[in-house]
Structure 1
């Protein structure tokens, strides 16, 4: 019976579950930035383990259930495969361990290979009044920008920095397009992925902070990147306030897989503040980011607990 339950749980995984990898990965990155290395490594282990589970499931669907794979590949949530791989790769890239850079490069290659096919499939099926998952077109693209920019210096490949800038610019355009198509009623009725509306701007700011810190860009280019980074971060903080107020006005305590898409923006906003403080010269972003990071950690713990309770309730009697 337990084997059957496990198999059923495996079969019920949705593409949106990739946000759990993203949430743990970005919280690990934030904890690394504030010097909480033990907790950071623990979160990284969780992120990597979840990524392996979802990668195995992704592969199994390609090989064994092509009809379901094609149906899910048309949905924005499918892009969590790219975003999760990029977020995990970005955290590994800054780990400083022997072999971490080649592993991160491998994850960049994988994410870049998945990105165009999934992006085109999603864009071909876009409509209007879409949920917050629509912003994953931006998140996945900016995830590539973050990872490519992070790897430019340790690999000595300047073209990665230029590729990061190209992805950054495309991500901005995709955000604007997703915003036009977003159903703003989701702010008060969404099941969790409505938070990606703000999280997409946060990862844009994170990518921008990396580009601003890069020696490749000087003069007006550096000034422009700094301005766009701060604007994206300011807007993401505004979204944070609006979405938090909406949660207070209309609480949605029931567990949903899409709640991991709430935790990820919380962690991403915090990490973006921490990362942007030095290259933009706005020192108060660091203490703000530290506070927001612990909020994200708390949200991760609560969501994990809700998941465990939900799985316990779903388990049939012996």
Structure 2
């Protein structure tokens, strides 16, 4: 459940930013435990069931392995554990080109929202690199973050041409990655805005781009909320963790941008959006438990990809 780690990890970051440290650490512990279990499963499949690993690795949800690792790394870095966060960055950097090549090599037309994970994974590298640069791990990481930030934007545009827009109204949850990718891009931008190494025109350009990304992110957030209200889709679906992550990421992006650009309204809005993300996390968790108990077995732990038109 890479999407679960992403959702729970970013919720932990948001709770940390808003001063709810005990809850933040509890969410971090839960995300870390699931990440370790998934990492063990990933290695086991790679070594012992390689054919199955290849079959799953060429679908967009495979990139949750990279994204989840970077989100966890960001939260760990905020604890001051920069060595561990750097190790997670190294793992993510190693996985990124392998999984990216497999996923893009098997792209189809009219794909579900998971297609935007190419952007999320890349911007995750930018956010973690920017976080570590700000912590003093290495100035070169800020340049690496900028490269990933730009590349992530290009990948978002490419993914949008493959996205099935009807998923906005009929998606099972991962349609929200459309706006979650913009949110993590805005978060990466806010990290770069806060970097002391850039001033003048580059700094101004980063401010403008970050605000633009956040504005489009919030517009898509509202659009998807309206779509959810018009076509209500109750019941548990594993793709709903791919809904929780964008909700939490949008909240963190608003909070981080507000801090970087000194926007008072963003601090208030970020807290409201974080509360929404927390409530939805609890709701999806309750539906998961209900499905587990009612069905007598745990639902699938992976984020399946809806079929794409070739």
> TM tier, shorter chain?
over 0.9
Aligned-CA RMSD value: 0.9
The gaps in structure 2 that reach 5 residues or longer are 298-310
Whether 1:27 and 2:11 are equivalent positions in the alignment is yes
Alignment match, 1:308: 289
Specify which of 87, 93, 98 is matched with residue 117 of structure 1. 98
Aligned to 1:90: 74
For 1:127-181, what per-residue CA distance to the aligned partner results, in whole angstroms no more than 9, with x for missing partners?
A: 2101000000000000000000100132441111000000000000000011111
How many Å separate the matches in 2 of 1:200 and 1:253?
Answer: 24
Task: Provide the rounded CA distance (Å) in 2 between the counterparts of 1:38 and 1:112.
Answer: 30
- Runs of 4+ residues deviating >4 angstroms: none
3-state secondary structure, aligned to 1:284: helix
What's the TM-score, normalizing by structure 2? 0.94
Q: Which residue of 1 aligns with 2:118?
A: 137
Structure 1 match to 2:236? 255
Distance in 1 separating the partners of 2:118 and 2:156: 7
Measure the CA separation in 1 of the matches of 2:198 and 2:64. Answer: 30
Q: CA deviation at 1:254?
A: 2.0
Provide the C-alpha distance between the structure 2 equivalents of 1:171 and 1:134, rounded to a whole number of angstroms.
13
Q: Give the distance between the partners of 2:166 and 2:137, measured in 1 at CA.
A: 46
Q: Structure 1 residue 183 and structure 2 residue 161: aligned?
A: no
Match of 2:26 in 1: 42
Aligned to 2:218: 237
Match of 1:80 in 2: 64
Match of 1:57 in 2: 41
Residue 314 of structure 1 and its aligned partner are, at CA, apart by 2.5
Residues 1:173 and 2:154 aligned together: yes
One of 88, 108, 111 as aligned partner of 1:127 = 108
Moved more, 188-197 or 281-290: 281-290
TM-score (norm 1): 0.92
**In 2 relative to 1, CA 246–33 (structure 1 residues): closer, same or farther, beyond 3 Å?**
same
Q: Per-residue displacement from partner, 1:1-58 (whole Å, max 9, x unpaired)?
A: xxxxxxxxxxxxxxxx201000000000001001010111111111101101111111
State the number of aligned residues.
297
Partners in 1 of 2:202 and 2:148 — Cα distance? 16
* Aligned position for 1:199: 180
CA deviation map 1:69-100 (0-9, x unaligned): 0011100000000000000000100113xxx1
